[in-house]
Amino acid sequence: MVTIKDRIEATRERMAESASRAGRDASGIKLLAVTKTRTMEEMLEAVPFVDGLGENRVQEAASKKRDWPASIEIEWRMIGHLQSNKVRKAIALFDSLDSVDSEGIARAAERIAAEENRIIPVLLEVNTSGEAGKTGAAPEDFPALLDCVLDCPHLRLDGLMTMGPLSSDKALVRGAFSMLRAMGEDGRRRSGLPLPVLSMGMSDDFESAVAEGSTMVRIGTSLFGLRT
């Protein structure tokens, strides 16, 4: 029987092989377990072998964290689309908001963080695939979004996030990841910040993302199996 630990080890091996082919050190790439709809038992089994948990829904994360063992520490990251009326709750729940995709969300997070006298780590989500069904700021809106977040003293900008296109064309997939890498480089020049995080790559395309410089892959199915 294949366990979650087995799946994680196999995924890390593939990450290492992809990094080696790209002349990179895999130790610089974090593995985030995407835990949408996953049970507490599955999550607890995965935690010792991953670098963090990625949740898509604020309410689901709140329910899970109520029952989470206080003795088990792990980074929780918000990776799903964030609505303005959920920002306050998300800030209370997560260690990082990775899906800041509009100036409205950025300003709401800044206002709440200022009220609470906190610094909130964030990533800017960009829709580099151009697919209508995906969230994220349009690439042409990235400069304005970047400037907005840089003007928010209670938001700590750590990098960028994207989702690859739903396609079997590897050149198309890598192109979307290459675009985010270039935007990260532009963001570093414009901001003077290190912006160390490029969160890109999921179960079907993380090897292409690693080849293009991903520093954080978000994996669900390859770790846990298909959702039932």
pLDDT per position as a tens digit, 80-116 = 999 999 999 999 999 999 999 999 999 999 999 999 9
pLDDT level of residue 1 (50, 70, 90 thresholds): confident
169-220 pLDDT, tens digit each: 999 999 999 999 999 999 999 999 999 999 999 999 999 999 999 999 999 9
Of 47, 61, 36, give the one whose Cα is nearest residue 8. 47
CA pair distance 199, 74, nearest whole angstrom: 18
State pTM to two decimals. 0.96
The whole-angstrom separation of Cα 37 and Cα 205 is 21
| Helix residue spans in 4-140 (DSSP H) | 4-21, 40-46, 58-66, 87-93, 103-115
Please, what are the domains in the chain? 4-224 (3.20.20.10)
Question: How many beta carbons lie within 10 A of that of residue 203, not counting itself?
Answer: 15
Q: So what's the pLDDT on residue 228?
A: 66
Quote the longest CA-to-CA distance of the chain: 52
Mean model confidence pLDDT for the chain:
97
Can you give the three-state secondary structure of 167-195, one letter per residue? CCCHHHHHHHHHHHHHHHHHHHHHHCCCC
Give the pLDDT of residue 226.
83
